[in-house]
Structure 1
Amino acid sequence: MQCFMCGADVGDKNVCYNCGADILLYKQIVYTSYVFYNQGLEKAKVSDLSGAIESLKSSLQYYKYNTRARNLLGLCYYQVGELVLAINEWVISKNLQEDNPDADRYLAEIESAPGYLPKINSTIKKYNQAIDYCKSGSRDLAIIQLKKVISQNANFVKAHQLLALLYIEESKFADARKLLNQAAKIDSNNTTTIKYIHEVKSRLKEQNTGRRKKKNDTVSFMDGNDTVVMSEKSFRSMLDNSRSSLMNILLGLVVGLLICFFLIVPTVRDNVKDGNSKTILALNEQLADANSKNDALQQEIDGLKNDLSAYDDKQDVATSYDNLFAAQNYYNSGDSATASQYIQLVTKEVLGEQGKQAYDNLYTSLAPAIIQGYYDDGNNFYSEENYESAITNFKTVVDIDENYDNGAALFLLGDCYRLTDQNDLALECFEKVVELYPSNKWGKQAKVYIAVDDTKLDAKEVGE
């Protein structure tokens, strides 16, 4: 095991000999991650893929660098027909651990299979179309589409479940049970499948045992402690008399409500209108006074802003020259890193002609150090999963030099866009990386992301 602070190999010790960090809690977290991984592995061996997926997700929540758990999670997604989620996990695993033969093999097999990705993309389109048909009430068309989906991707558990649900709605319980049994063979402990199976069994039981009861010629009911038995004709006559009395009571209530509505309500409404009119006039007067005071305050604020702006401009001139001189002095003494920090505090627009010339000359000399600083900060934010800050730094680097570090900055900018669901910007960056560096590791990785993005375009209903 390596220290999380300095990366030194610490073995079984609880304190790093190199930096002195206490790694006991860190070791417990990592061990917990591997406990969940082992649980997921055992569940996957007995085809409990839903349980395995939940355990592996828990493992990655404790320790996201557990690439074994991530690769196995991708395999579980692949086994239940969720290819998009599987590829996503393998790509992340490859990004976290560059030397990752399992993820390389899985991705290579998918890329090398002729026509496999277009076939899966077609399957997802048909599945989404079936969902649209269900929403619009076209069950027959949905059933046709789902049959095609299952014929192309026999392990797609969600398609089995949806088709079984449609069969249940159509009272085709035998066909639904057959589909659900197939889904249970793929994922033995899927709660949705189990729920549908219980529903089918109860419907079949009702279908087999539901018989109409014979009508009795007599009716019996309790009157106090005595049981009264009378003919059905007499009982119906008694009910008709009760209904007649009830209708008379309801008619009286309706007449009373009409009198209230036409005589009392108009008087109350007129009184309310008079009161509302007086209230509105008073509120309008208060609003006019408030608007007048607000205009005066706004004029005062504008004047103060103008005074402050003039003061800030004068102050910024002196501050900018101070920072420029400091940057020049640090650069002359060989401290380019500190010099690059000071020159970024200079506002070029407030400098004179000679100041601007000195700024341009010094900035050109410090440009490599400035770019490196932004790139290093972007990498730090990326590692901390602070993707918004990472985007700001990587974008600054790319604006200056989009070829920086053989396309690394451009790729990482695209990956940050992907992780923040800005898919159009991410795809634009990945395509640029492939155009500039099709053969290096960044270009190859970008090709995989582009392929995944093309598959996900129509997968709006397939996800976690």
Structure 2
Amino acid sequence: MIDFKQELKNYTPIDLDKLLKTNPNMPDNLKNSILLYNKALDNFRTKSEDIAIIELKKAISLNPDSCESINLLGVLYAGTGDYTKAREIFEKVISKDRNNLKALEYIKALDPNYNQSGNVKGNQKDKKESKKVACANEKNTGELSYATTNYISNIKQLLKKDPAKYILGFAAGVLVAFLLSFGFKSEEAVVHTSSSIDNTSQAENKEDFEQKYNKLNEEYKVLLGQLDNLKNSTQNYSNLTKLLEIDKLVLEQNYVAAADMLAALNAAELKGIEKAKYDSLRGQAMEKAAKEIFTQGRELYKKKQFKEALEKFDKVVLYVGEWKNSNATTYYRGVCYLELNNRDKALEAFKEVISKYPSSSFARYSQSRMNEMNS
């Protein structure tokens, strides 16, 4: 069997500068795809396989036809022991390029009994069966069902370009298609029923209508399931893009901008690699951002710009909640509230300092402030 970890070392970065000399008008998506490909190789070499996988997924989303990137993703999965995902990836390459020797070599290493020609025949058979089903559906449900199928196909193509933009359009289209189909069948049933005098014929028409309605209802449920999957895919894509942007901000030491983006993310939606990356970025950015904003708040406080200072101290709490300067942060928030004539909030902050940090100097300052308020 191939040593996939060793195989990863055979992949070398792409010389983007050289490519740009021969192709200066290269589209941005291809340039960014190459940059992410090279970055994934760097992360693999620094033992950050999870980050490398994220970056490769992004690279492939920008350039879906890059078999080299897809192959590398498969090798990464195989190198981490996830052979099931690796095989799926290599099969995707073969579906794009049947003569891709690398993908064939890799998949045969995972499955010595793999038979490409057998798989192709199976695929052709599946396509023939799908075609028969499609023809039967078209015959039974008419032009509207055919239009609905085409609509879904078109929406999937649009989602590849900008998934967030078209998701609402897809939802509306699904509902319209269902309602039109239902109306079409209802009208057809009414015409047949009104033209039939015989009671037996009417019963048959009613039964036929109910069967067609049930079939349309099932199709509608399938479409709703597809819509949910597309929503999830869109959200995952959006979260992945944001995490990569945050990673770049952290590398540039722009901790406040990174912390703002992290605070805006819904951590409950993140799972697996994305959740691990999110936690890692929080550890790198949040306290450094809190320290920076706290310093800005202190400067505004000294200038007696209490409203602006309070906004900074509130931001510190949003970033870290509890940290080494929490007693000072809470005390300064209390003073700002007091200066802004919000006595209730000020009293609440001073009591919190005394309760949580009773031995600190800020607890004594808080008690002194409360005595002044009472007198």
Q: Normalised by the shorter chain, which TM-score bucket?
A: 0.3 to 0.5
- Normalised TM-score (structure 1): 0.27
Q: Normalization by structure 2: what TM-score?
A: 0.32
Greater radius of gyration (CA): 1
Which one has the bigger helix percentage? Answer: 2
